[in-house]
Structure 1
């Protein structure tokens, strides 16, 4: 993988005028070597006290540790810049890699949800220091 850069996924995700942001802009993960979007990462509902972490990665970058690195980066940012009790991280039940990310950060499976797309497990991840 080449150098990874993050940039806003769309121009409307910029500053929203709040002293504490409602959400971190959704960020694109770009592999500078081949100039393609390798994924997106975001933190939603920042003012809720229990923001939700989310990530999507291209299949070509699976297994490179990028998911863990990105979730760690946005959770660290949110811990330092927002009032957070814990993070919610919903993952598809079958997505073992994402479940390992949550568990690696001390996350515990706290609820299950069902959507038209898939069944998910919602992890609660403690604050980052």
Structure 2
């Protein structure tokens, strides 16, 4: 049995907005828009046919921003933690290289230090 097709309309696109008033990368992938979206993407997808299941997922992903499920929250926290661990280890390596006179490593260490601060702030 073939999936029922739905036409992408301006109304559907508006319904799919996140609470921040935009769309996620995952949502845009559903309607065939590459990331980052180029100007005019909404006009280009108007009239496109997608499955009903994809249309429902397109809208639900936008609404998911309102109240993420606990599983999504735990996954997000785990990813942030893993990213923080990775960046912290990279910072330690770059810092050690900078101490040994590598100027480029000093710049990398500075950037990684900023990334660590951002990840720590995002984890709160």
Question: TM-score interval w.r.t. the shorter chain?
Answer: under 0.3
Q: Higher relative contact order by CA 8 Å / sep ≥ 6: 1 or 2?
A: 2
TM-score scaled by length of structure 1: 0.24
Pair member with larger Rg: 2
Q: Which structure's residues are more often strand, by fraction?
A: 1
